[in-house]
Structure 1
Amino acid sequence: MNKELVGALDALEKEKGIKKEIVIEALEAALVSAYKRNYDQAQNVEVDFDAVKGNIKVYAVKTVVEEVEDEQQQVSLEGALKVSRGYELGDEIRYEVTPQNFGRIAAQTAKQVIMQRVHEAERNVVFEKYSEYENEIVTGEVERQDSRFIYVSLGTVEAVMPVAEQMPNESYKMHDRIQVFVTKVENSTKGPQVFVSRTAPELLKRLFEKEVPEIYDGVVEIMSIAREAGDRAKVAVRSNDENVDPVGTAVGPKGQRVQVIVNELGGENMDIVEWVDDPARYIANALNPAEVLDVIFDPENERSCTVVVPDYQLSLAIGKRGQNARLAARLTNYKIDIKPESEMTDNAPVDDNDVDTEETED
């Protein structure tokens, strides 16, 4: 058994990349527990494993004391000096106590330890592989679902998509191929656990990077995303090249680029708006397709404003169930209160030239 165990450790290191020293350390600790359990011993023991010959020896470790109170843990100075004249109070003495039939127990324990380390190594390989995909898009296949999750096969691991991360406008069937965003990878006791999403704003960002080379290259930059998954999203973009139109680039010729993303997300509508340094213009752009006459900032709250729109565009600015205004607020990180022009003229003049309302593509 001894030679076989040494060979197994060598093979484990070569094939699985598991250091022999790590396995031996774990094996020695396991053998200590096995000895105490099988021989009903409470004494302090150590196990030495000879990595060359494979021999296993058990030692009882006792501390040299003046007066022995616990024979399992202590030895008198007088008794220690009989072993060697060099011992002093506080020293530790190791006595070999290896049982004759300990080899059988050692073999069983070694097998369990090695199998455990192999499983851990395999889990770590999968964990490290999918940790690289965290915050990225991967393509998987729907395997099954229950009341809590959609289970998506990513090849060597099964990812889970919680209900909150599933698109409300989508139904998932077995063997469907879907693109998902990896939100988190955990190395749990049950193995690597990968969490994925179809609703994360970052999924939308990665899809734009795939479809728009200028975004992937950084010529056009996505500054903010507000999304109500499966229904509508607003994406703010800016150009790092004055010769490149950020909105037109993201939308693509005849809307082809953005249409690919809309199709991937089951018809989710996209508003692509230009991000600008001027907060008033940016807020006006964010409320696209509504026309904005004025943006009045609250002097007591720098992240709050009132937006004035023509009366006939009030419902368009607010949007169905308040969606347009809500997404614009999230996109800009401003609290936006929308007022019709007629309501504001009774209180303060409105300057139509305060805001540049350049039209952006829908």
Structure 2
Amino acid sequence: MSKEMLHALDELEKEKGISKEVVIDALEAALVSAYKRNYGQAQNVEVQFDPKKGNIHVYAVKEVVDVVYDSRLEVDIKDALELNKAYEIGDMIRFEVTPKNFGRIAAQTAKQVIMQRVREAERNIIYNEYIQYENDIMQGIVERQDNRYIYVNLGKIEAVLSKQEQIPNEVYHPHDRIKVYVTKVENTSKGPQVFVSRSHPNLLKRLFEQEVPEIYDGIVEIISVAREAGDRAKVAVTSRDPNVDPVGTCVGPKGQRVQAIVNELKGENMDIVEWSEDPAAYIANALNPAKVVDVTFNEEAGSCLVVVPDYQLSLAIGKRGQNARLAAKLTGYKVDIKSESDMEDTQAVDSELETLAAQHTEDYVADVEEIRDMENTIDIEQIPQELEDQMRQPGDPVMDADYEEGELSSEDVEEEIESAEERDAKNE
């Protein structure tokens, strides 16, 4: 049995990649569990496996005491001295209790523990193998699909491709070979779980690294990627070597390099632009194939106004605003595009508004100066007398009288009023 056991451990290590030490630890733990269940033994049981001969021994460890209260855990000092005169109280003695037959329950328990340890070891091996591919690209084979996921075989594990991570309108058939970007690797209770994507912008970056050796070597660097999966993408590149053209290097001879990436992504259009330290030049390049006349920045708002020729306005904006939207994602600026004629009209309106504002300001200043001049010429002391003269009306008995302060008394005024009322009554 020992030879067969060692041979089985060797085969398990070759097929599953599980080391002998892991299996031996699992076997020892399984035998301890099975022995305790079958024989009701306490927790002082040890199991030793001989990796050279394959022999298994079970020991009960007991403490040397004066008075024995539990024979499973303790041994009398007298019995200990019979075994060896060097034993003292407090020493631990190992007694071999290897059973000849563990029984069906014990064997089943040992099997379950071993299988559990083997599964855990396999999960750890798979997790450690695929965690290094996180944020990297892998090639897999489409196996099956359901309402939520498409399952891609990556070798030792099935990765899941959700609908959100798929390229729109791309059809996947069983046995199709596709390249996917590993977004996340998790070690769950059910085993390792790998999540992949076909729409992630970094998939495009990894594909360029595979197809363009200069990018992999670091001579050409990808600065930014903006992508609308399945339709169009923009890639900004720069070169660390002044003798190397970054755009031409990525395109390749007769467009072979970029065409291989387009084929892999089922015809997704690709714009490769050169990155520049000058933001205006960078934005102009990002709006390719449209030509840019002028770029004005608003640093506080993080936006820019781009002026293009009239006949290139639709080209700069793109279908459903796609070109401008991708350029904004690529550069990080909010891009507002106007034609030259619209810009001239806007400038004319702004100029007219500035003229009107200036004229209004001049009129306002003139009015203020006129008021100030009037204030300087008017004699404030004459205003009450002038108002009094204006308020006087002909026929008013009081006002017609030569009423001045000191000339008429109050009785005179009353008599004058009564005589006036009598005259009015006779006239009626």
TM-score normalized by structure 1?
A: 0.75
Deviations 1:63-112 (A, max 9, x none): 567998x8488648xx34652464345x5454444444337666555655
Residue-by-residue CA offset, 1:193-221 (whole Å, 9 max, x unaligned): 44332112222123223433443443332
Aligned to 1:329: 328
Which SS does the other structure have where 2:328 is aligned? helix
Counting helix residues as a fraction of each chain, which structure ranks higher?
2
Q: Is the 8 A contact 1:140 1:178 kept in 2?
A: yes
**Mapped partners of 2:11, 2:216: distance in 1:** 44
**Could you tell me which amino acid in structure 2 is paired with residue 326 of structure 1?**
R
Aligned residue in 1 for 2:221: 221
Matched residue, 1:197: 197
Q: Is the 8 A contact 2:26 2:114 kept in 1?
A: no
Task: Provide the C-alpha distance between the structure 2 equivalents of 1:297 and 1:126, rounded to a whole number of angstroms.
Answer: 52
Residues 7 and 148 from structure 1, CA distance in 2 versus in 1: closer, same or farther, beyond 3 angstroms? same
- Kindly provide the amino acid, as one letter, of the partner of residue 221 in structure 1: E
Could you list the per-position Cα deviations for residues 271-297 of structure 1 after superposition, in whole angstroms to 9, with x for gaps in the alignment? 211111222322332233342512314
2:305 aligns with 307
Match of 1:83 among 80, 83, 97: 80
Q: Distance between the aligned counterparts of 1:272 and 1:88, measured in 2?
A: 83
CA drift of 1:336 comes to: 1.3
> How far is 1:134 from its partner?
4.5
Amino acid at match of 2:323: N
Q: CA deviation at 1:15?
A: 6.7
Measure the CA separation in 1 of the matches of 2:324 and 2:259.
Answer: 23
Q: Which of 313, 335, 338 is the aligned partner of 2:336?
A: 338
Percent identical among aligned pairs is 67
Superposition CA RMSD, Å: 3.8
What residue number does 1:236 align with? 236
TM-aligned CA distance change 1:321 to 1:80, over 3 Å: farther
Q: How does 1:44-55 map to 2 (within 5 A)?
A: 44-55=44-55
Quick one: distance in 2 between partners of 1:54 and 1:211? 53
Larger radius of gyration: 2
Indicate the larger mover: 100-109 or 255-264. 100-109
Separation (CA, whole Å) in 1 of partners of 2:51 and 2:213: 56
**CA drift at 1:306:** 2.2
Which one-letter code corresponds to 1:330 in the other structure? Answer: K
More relative contact order, 1 or 2 (CA 8 Å, 6+ apart):
1
Distance in 2 of aligned mates of 1:280 and 1:270: 22
For residues 142-198 of structure 1, give each alpha carbon's deviation from its aligned partner in whole angstroms, at most 9, with x where no partner exists.
Answer: 221112211123445433212222101211122323222333445555555443321
Query: Which whole-Å CA distance do the structure 2 matches of 1:307 and 1:244 have between them?
Result: 32
Paired position in structure 2 for 1:276 = 276
SS at match of 1:204: helix
Q: Determine if the alignment matches structure 1 residue 295 to structure 2 residue 296.
A: yes
Counterpart contact for 1:284–1:295, Cα < 8 Å: no
Any idea what SS the aligned residue of 1:22 has?
helix
1:29 is displaced (CA, Å) by 1.3
Quickly say closer, same or farther: Cα 1:251–1:36, change in 2 above 3 A: same
Contact 1:325 1:336 in 2 (8 A): no
Map of 2:371 onto structure 1: none
Query: Gaps (5+ residues) in structure 1?
Result: 349-362
Aligned pair in 2 of structure 1 residues 43, 115: CA closer, same or farther (>3 Å)? closer
1:231 shift after superposition = 1.5
How is 1:202-213 mapped onto 2 (pairs within 5 angstroms)? Answer: 202-213=202-213
Contact 1:31 1:47 in 2 (8 A): yes
CA contact (8 A) 1:49 1:55 kept: yes
Q: Do 2:34 and 2:107's aligned partners in 1 also have CA atoms closer than 8 Å?
A: no
What corresponds to 1:357 in structure 2?
none
- Cα offset for 1:243? 2.8
Give the AA of the match of 1:293: D
Normalising by the residue count of structure 2, what TM-score does the alignment of the two structures yield? 0.65
Unaligned runs of 5+ in 2: 352-428
Superposed CA deviations along residues 8-36 of structure 1, whole A, max 9, x for unmatched, are 33554577664433322221111122222
Structure 1 residues 9 and 106: CA distance shift in structure 2, 3 A: farther
> 1:153 touches 1:159 (CA, 8 Å); kept in 2?
yes
C-alpha separation in 1, matches of 2:40 and 2:202: 58
Range with greater deviation from structure 2 (188-197 or 257-266): 188-197
Distance 2:221 2:27 in 1: 54
SS of 2:48's equivalent in the other structure is strand
Structure having the higher strand fraction is 1
Does the CA contact (< 8 Å) of 2:287 and 2:316 recur in 1?
yes
* Residue equivalent to 2:169: 169
